Amino acid sequence: MHIQFAELPVFDQDRAKAFYTRHFACKVAADEKMGHSGWRWIELKFPGAVTNMHFVRRADDTPGAEPVLVLVDDDVEATIAALKAGGVEIITEPQEAPWQPGRTVAEFRDSEGNRMVVGSQ
């Protein structure tokens, strides 16, 4: 058993899709119209991941205060450096997780203002 997708609140689907395909090499698993509202069913697949990410509608583009998702990566420092070089807002630089010694974590904001964590295993 596995989780098929995790929901990520976004305001602008195209902007979010461009952010994740550019910065994380996500592939589009689905991009289909959902009725007449203009909203689409978009799922993105991270390289090597079983769980996809699905966009859900957020009412506005106000940045979130709490982390939305935790991404796991083997090289947090390199990921954060690449995000920074790409103009992404870094909230916290790589540091040891206070709740789990030996684990490195950092935080950034995605194109939709979501506060995201990237951490080592």
38 by Cβ neighbours in 10 Å (0-12 / 13-18 / 19+) ranks as exposed
Q: 62: pLDDT confidence band, cut at 50, 70 and 90? A: confident
Task: Classify the C-alpha dihedral 25-7-43-2 as positive or negative.
Answer: positive
Residue 96 has pLDDT above 90, yes or no: yes
The answer to whether the beta carbons of residues 41 and 29 sit under 8 Å apart is: no
Of the candidates 99, 86, 95, 98, the residue with the CA atom closest to the CA atom of residue 109: 86
Give per-residue pLDDT as tens, 37-56. Answer: 889 999 999 999 999 999 99
- The SS3 call for residue 50 is coil
We report the CATH number of the domain holding residue 107 as 3.10.180.10
Of the candidates 46, 20, 6, the residue with the CA atom closest to the CA atom of residue 111: 20
Q: Which of 17-21, 32-36, 56-60 has the highest mean pLDDT?
A: 17-21
The answer to whether the beta carbons of residues 90 and 108 sit under 8 Å apart is: yes
Domain that holds residue 24: 5-119
In this prediction, residues 28-39 reach a mean pLDDT of 93
User: What is the value of pTM for the model shown?
Assistant: 0.91
Q: 61: pLDDT confidence band, cut at 50, 70 and 90? A: confident
Instruction: Work out how many domains the chain is built from and give that number.
Output: 1
What are the tokens at 59?
């009412």
